[in-house]
A and B are shown apart, each in its own frame.
Chain A
Amino acid sequence: DVKVTQSSRYLVKRTGEKVFLECVQDMDHENMFWYRQDPGLGLRLIYFSYDVKMKEKGDIPEGYSVSREKKERFSLILESASTNQTSMYLCASSLISAQGRTEAFFGQGTRLTVV
Chain B
Amino acid sequence: GENVEQHPSTLSVQEGDSAVIKCTYSDSASNYFPWYKQELGKRPQLIIDIRSNVGEKKDQRIAVTLNKTAKHFSLHITETQPEDSAVYFCAASGASNYQLIWGAGTKLIIKP
Q: Do A and B come from one complex?
A: yes
Residues of A in contact with B (beta carbons under 8 Å apart) = 30-31, 40-43, 45, 48, 50, 90, 94, 96, 99-104, 106-109
A42 touches B89 (CB 8 A): yes
14 A-B pairs with CB atoms under 8 Å apart are: A31-B98, A40-B9, A40-B104, A42-B6, A43-B44, A45-B102, A101-B49, A102-B32, A102-B34, A102-B99, A104-B34, A104-B36, A104-B46, A106-B44
Instruction: Give chain B residues whose Cβ lies under 8 Å from the Cβ of A31.
Output: 98-99
Task: Give the total number of A-B pairs whose CB atoms are below 8 A apart.
Answer: 60
B32 touches A42 (CB 8 A): no
- Given A40-B9, A99-B51, answer yes or no on A104-B89 (Cβ-Cβ < 8 Å): no
Give me 8 other A-B pairs in contact (C-beta within 8 A), A42-B103, A48-B98, A106-B44 excluded: A30-B98, A41-B104, A94-B100, A96-B97, A100-B31, A101-B34, A102-B93, A104-B100
CB distance from B37 to the nearest CB of A (A): 11
A99 to B34, CA, bound (A): 13
Name the interface residues of B38-81: CB closer than 8 Å to any CB of A.
42-46, 49, 51
A99 to B97, CA, bound (A): 12
Q: Closest residue to A94 on the B side, CB-wise? A: B98
Q: Closest residue to A49 on the B side, CB-wise? A: B98
- Given A41-B104, A42-B103, answer yes or no on A100-B45 (Cβ-Cβ < 8 Å): no
A109 touches B97 (CB 8 A): no
B43 touches A107 (CB 8 A): yes
A45 to B103, CA, bound (A): 12
Contact with A102, one of B9, B97, B102 (Cβ below 8 angstroms): B97
